[in-house]
A and B are shown apart, each in its own frame.
Chain A
């Protein structure tokens, strides 16, 4: 109970001193958010959990190299993001370029304009849209909204410029806005 109130830095210092069990607190703190990001990037529950497990083991093994120069979350999400990219590339799946192409999002937008989807629950629809976003967009949306990370922190994780992070964020937001407009969901949303 007391451990849960400690900061990431305090927990890491405790783990470094040999209290391995304290690492469980960090796992509990980040597992769901990191899992959400991985699931949205990999579009697969099982792979997401498998990669997440590797990420926690990797982070533990490299804890001595963590110099507290950045937040643990930024450092850990970089491991998670890079592991997801490695998994995607090893599976020979398409990895979008530094800037997601507009066509990708247009394709997504057109697939959510069908009339048979109008009656669908809005929250489910949004979840579906988020889950179908290209890997990089999904990662940005998750870190920005779920982890409440700043665009600067996200740029550090993704190793891209802050401007690029903002472009990805705005495009994803605009996509959802256009879907809401085209499907006349405005009243429903209000």
Chain B
């Protein structure tokens, strides 16, 4: 009977023994008072663990989590719109430059034969862009772009800061 150790009793309790082992433990419990007491106390411990009730969170816990989730979605949406607007602005600026370049090239053209038009257009267009992004103009263009990026960066940082504030406790 002394072979019935705690592990076997635990396994018997969890119904994890094979038929032979189960019978052995059952007989031991029925024939030995010591084993019976050990098993019954173990069973009580098992029942006591089972009876411990769950703890409860604060009443508004779910609301609070959902509020944070909603806030996060709003911030994510705002960031998306912000990035889209910055990209649109950059696109618009580039489009303006290209449009202006075309206007300059077209207005400087002499009426010539159609076969030479394509060659001249591309040549003039290339020349115009070489001048446009020449040393002097490139500095101005770079400054404007840097300024836009600086402003965008600041607003992006501000959004990130706000989102952190929402999610910090």
How distant is the Cα of A107 from the Cα of B125 in the complex, in angstroms? 86
Among A53-61, A80-88, A94-102, the one that faces the other chain is A53-61
How distant is the Cα of A145 from the Cα of B49 in the complex, in angstroms? 7
Q: Are A177 and B61 interface neighbours, CB within 8 A?
A: no
Asked if A156 is an interface residue, CB under 8 A from chain B, the answer is: no
Asked if A159 is an interface residue, CB under 8 A from chain B, the answer is: no
Asked if A33 is an interface residue, CB under 8 A from chain B, the answer is: yes
Q: Are A126 and B62 interface neighbours, CB within 8 A?
A: no
Q: Are A49 and B61 interface neighbours, CB within 8 A?
A: yes
The secondary structure that dominates the A interface is helix
The secondary structure that dominates the B interface is helix
Additional 5 contacts, C-beta under 8 A, given A32-B55, A35-B57, A177-B38:
A31-B57, A57-B167, A126-B49, A145-B49, A176-B45
Residue numbers in A under 8 Å from B61 (CB-CB): 27, 31, 49, 52-53
Among A18-26, A65-73, A110-118, the one that faces the other chain is A18-26
Q: Are B68 and A53 interface neighbours, CB within 8 A?
A: yes
Asked if B116 is an interface residue, CB under 8 A from chain A, the answer is: no
Contact of B45 among A31, A50, A180 (CB under 8 A): A180
10 A-B contact pairs sorted by A residue (CB < 8 Å) = A21-B66, A23-B66, A31-B61, A49-B58, A53-B64, A122-B48, A141-B49, A173-B46, A186-B37, A189-B48
Residue numbers in A under 8 Å from B37 (CB-CB): 186
Q: Nearest Cβ in chain B — how far from A46, in angstroms?
A: 9
Among B69-77, B81-89, B107-115, B149-157, the one that faces the other chain is B69-77
Interface residues on A, range: 35 or more
Contact bitstring A160-189, B, C-beta under 8 A = 1, else 0: 000000100110111011001100001001
Contact bitstring B6-27, A, C-beta under 8 A = 1, else 0: 1100100000000000000000
Q: Are A186 and B57 interface neighbours, CB within 8 A?
A: no
Q: Are B56 and A32 interface neighbours, CB within 8 A?
A: yes
Q: Across the interface, name the chain B residue whose C-beta is closest to A167.
A: B7
Asked if A136 is an interface residue, CB under 8 A from chain B, the answer is: no
Residue numbers in B under 8 Å from A130 (CB-CB): 49, 52
Which residue among B7, B37, B54, B72 has the maximum number of chain A CB atoms within 10 Å of its CB? B54
Asked if B169 is an interface residue, CB under 8 A from chain A, the answer is: yes
Q: Are A176 and B69 interface neighbours, CB within 8 A?
A: no
Interface residues of A in 1-58 (CB under 8 A from B): 20-21, 23-24, 27-28, 31-33, 35-36, 39, 49-50, 52-53, 56-57
Interface residues of A in 115-165 (CB under 8 A from B): 122-123, 126-127, 130, 141, 144-146
Q: Across the interface, name the chain A residue whose C-beta is closest to B6.
A: A174
Contact of B57 among A52, A174, A190 (CB under 8 A): A52
